[in-house]
Amino acid sequence: MYFTHADAVWEAHPGLRAAVIAVDGVLGITATRAYQDKLLPRVEERLAAGGESAMPEISAWREAFSAMGLKPTQYRCASEALLRRYRKERSLPAFHPLVDYLNTVSMAFAVPVAVFDCDRVAGGITVRPAEGTEEYTTFQGDSEHPAPGEVVFTDAAGYAHSRRWTFRQSARSVVGPHTERALIVAEALHPSAEADLTALQQEITTVLGECRVRVGAAKLVRPTERRLEFFSAFPGEESTSEERP
């Protein structure tokens, strides 16, 4: 499998960086609540310092959404949406140990973090402008077609696994009780994105190792290293690893 961004995304957002982590053994994950609790003081510090829109990590995504013709107060990146909900309720609903932990990481770093069930993704994921023919499945079970030019996570079969880039994921590849292999993607656009994502990647790989999830491949995606191929990271699968600029 692979993960990459299309040239059009890099051209429009040269400051983009992404931490990409492929894992397996998710079925055996142990409880992550204690690790979430360790991150919550960082979340509280963020919220006490001011509104979400003033955070440089969030502000950069708001600018990107505006550049894409989206109203940032109508369509919020995933980390902003989580922080706003947590500010009001001081809790988040529980879905799955991996998802719950990554949601807390997303709030602590104020960076959108997506996670996909690899066995429900065809071939790999490319982040690119939509052609308008891609199929997106809502959490209500409906099918939608992203507007042409909208940035989406899409696979080799033409399924869109997100809408409006980091706004909302698809129900098609959501992590659940059946998930054994997953792809974690954290993206950032703010000036210190590379350093912050390096720390975020270290946080995730350390904790998941302690929770009995195997990290098979990890990469910091940047303009000079744009692609991760990771099937070779899993036992019993033919190696297809190849670095491409």
Domain boundaries, the chain: 2-232
Q: Residue 18: helix, strand or coil by DSSP?
A: strand
**In angstroms, rounded to a whole number, what is the distance separating the alpha carbons of residues 143 and 146?**
10
- Please give the model's pTM, rounded to 2 decimal places: 0.94
Q: How much is the average pLDDT of 87-96?
A: 97
Residue 116: which residues within 8 A CB-CB, separation 6 or more? 125, 153, 161, 169, 173, 175, 182, 183, 185
Q: How many Å separate Cα 34 from the centre of its chain? A: 22
Q: Residue 220: helix, strand or coil by DSSP?
A: strand
| pLDDT score, position 232 | 57
Strands 2-5 and 124-129: parallel
Q: What is the mean pLDDT of the chain?
A: 94
| pLDDT score, position 231 | 60
CA dihedral 2, 4, 129, 16 (to 10 degrees): 150
% of the chain residues with pLDDT over 70: 94
Fold classification of 2-232 (topology level)? Phenylalanyl-tRNA Synthetase; Chain B, domain 3 (3.50.40)
Neighbours of 98 (CB within 10 A): 22
141-157: pLDDT as tens digits: 999 999 999 999 999 99
pLDDT range class, residue 202, cuts 50, 70, 90: very high
CB 155 within 8 A of CB 121: yes
Neighbours of 204 (CB within 10 A): 24
Q: How many Å separate Cα 23 from the centre of its chain? A: 14
35-57: pLDDT as tens digits: 999 999 999 999 999 999 999 99
Encoded tokens for 126 = 């490319």
Strands 227-229 and 2-5: antiparallel
Does 240 score more than 60 pLDDT? no
